[in-house]
Amino acid sequence: MLDALTKETFEQLLGQSFDVALASGETLRLTLLHVREAMAGGIGSPHRTPFSLLFRGGPRDQYLPQRIYDLVHPELGTLSIFIVPVGPDEGAMRYEAVFT
């Protein structure tokens, strides 16, 4: 399913929440802040333009380590996405996912 997702898929979801299922059974809510076209380079899908997502959520002084997490959205269902912490802003940690 991840191969079928495009930049346009997520642009319709800006400002919406995704719940991250944590190993502890708890849930962390992330908000989709930005969808950006990424520079094409090397390996990637010939069927879509590379893009990145920027999420925000959770305490700014604690963060999830980079790895694959299950992100749950009411319309898209459960997506296993590799996210990377990219640093905090005023009040929460930000995470990036890149699709090539």
pLDDT band for 40, please (50, 70, 90 cuts). low
Q: Is the pLDDT of residue 30 over 90?
A: yes
**Mean pLDDT over the full length of the chain:** 90
Q: Domain count of the chain?
A: 1
Kindly list the distances between the CA atom of residue 61 and the CA atoms of 8, 22, 26, 58, 85, in Å, as whole numbers in the listed order.
32, 18, 18, 9, 11
- Considering only residues 73 and 43, tell me which one the structure prediction assigns the higher pLDDT: 73
pLDDT band for 38, please (50, 70, 90 cuts). confident
Domain that holds residue 7: 2-99
pLDDT band for 39, please (50, 70, 90 cuts). confident
pLDDT band for 59, please (50, 70, 90 cuts). confident
